[in-house]
């Protein structure tokens, strides 16, 4: 009974949308925030294993749908708080990345921890997706998420004739 309870409980990923606030900080989106126009940012937390794969697929599809609805071409997935990646969840991520690319969506993987990065490299997901779109956590004072968000906004500015809707970010809340 404990194993079943644990599997059910740990199979749910927590996902929340993040925004770049007017104060140039990245934080959780609240109802009064306007929807992002240039870049969508999602924070994932939880076990990255076979039991969570259906939940992962559901959240990734919702992110794709939201990007399409808002006409956004850049998506940042903050994966800093995903744990214990396994082949099933990684395959779901790989399929999503391939489909997103085919739909013209550039996906940045941010806050990638060493165990996840190693798995992405071992399964050749990193090389198929593009090493330059993966932002690994490295040192204490370095934020891979902020680097990915800055890069996404830079690319969004390059593809638009106007300035991006938000300037570079300086802090992650």
pLDDT digits (tens, 9 = 90+) for 104-158: 999 999 999 999 999 999 999 999 999 999 999 877 667 898 899 989 988 888 7
- When divided into structural domains, the chain yields a total of 1
Rg (CA), the chain: 16
In a domain, residue 102? The reply is yes
In a domain, residue 173? The reply is no
Query: What value does the mean pLDDT take over residues 23-28?
Result: 88
In a domain, residue 85? The reply is yes
- What's the first-to-final CA gap in the chain, in angstroms? 38
pLDDT(164) > 90: no
Query: What value does the mean pLDDT take over residues 155-173?
Result: 66
Token representation of residue 32: 């009064």
State residue 112 phi and psi, 5-degree precision: -70, 120
In contact, 96 and 60? CB cutoff 8 Å: yes
In a domain, residue 5? The reply is no
> In terms of pTM, does the model score above 0.75?
yes
Question: Quick one: pLDDT at residue 24?
Answer: 84
Give the whole-angstrom CA distance, residue 52 versus residue 56. 6
- The domain that contains 68 carries what CATH number? 3.30.750.24
Half-sphere exposure for 64 (CA within 13 Å, toward CB) = 18
Residue carrying the six token digits 């204490």: 140
Q: pLDDT (tens digit, 9 = 90+) per residue, 81-114?
A: 999 999 999 999 999 999 999 999 999 999 999 9
Q: Helix H segments across 11-163? A: 53-70, 87-102, 114-122, 125-129, 144-159
Number of other CB atoms surrounding residue 37 within 10 Å:
14
> Which of 92, 42, 145 lies closest to 134 in space, CA to CA?
145
In a domain, residue 60? The reply is yes
In a domain, residue 117? The reply is yes
Give the whole-angstrom CA distance, residue 21 versus residue 128. 33
């Amino acid at each position: 009974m404990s194993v079943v309870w644990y599997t059910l409980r740990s199979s749910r990923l927590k996902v929340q949308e993040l925004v770049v606030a007017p104060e140039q900080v990245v934080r959780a989106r609240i109802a009064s925030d306007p929807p992002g126009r240039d870049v969508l940012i999602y924070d994932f937390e939880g076990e990255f294993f076979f039991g969570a794969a259906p939940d992962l697929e559901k959240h990734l599809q919702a992110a794709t749908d939201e990007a399409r609805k808002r006409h956004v071409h850049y998506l940042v997935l903050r994966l800093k708080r995903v744990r214990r990646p396994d082949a099933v969840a990684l395959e779901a991520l790989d399929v999503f990345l391939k489909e997103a690319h085919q739909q013209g969506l550039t996906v940045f993987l941010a806050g990638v921890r060493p165990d996840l990065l190693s798995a992405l490299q071992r399964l050749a997901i990193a090389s198929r997706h593009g090493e330059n779109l993966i932002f690994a956590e490295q040192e204490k004072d370095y934020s891979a998420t902020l680097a990915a968000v800055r890069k996404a906004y830079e690319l969004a500015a390059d593809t638009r004739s106007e300035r991006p809707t938000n300037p570079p970010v300086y802090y992650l809340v």
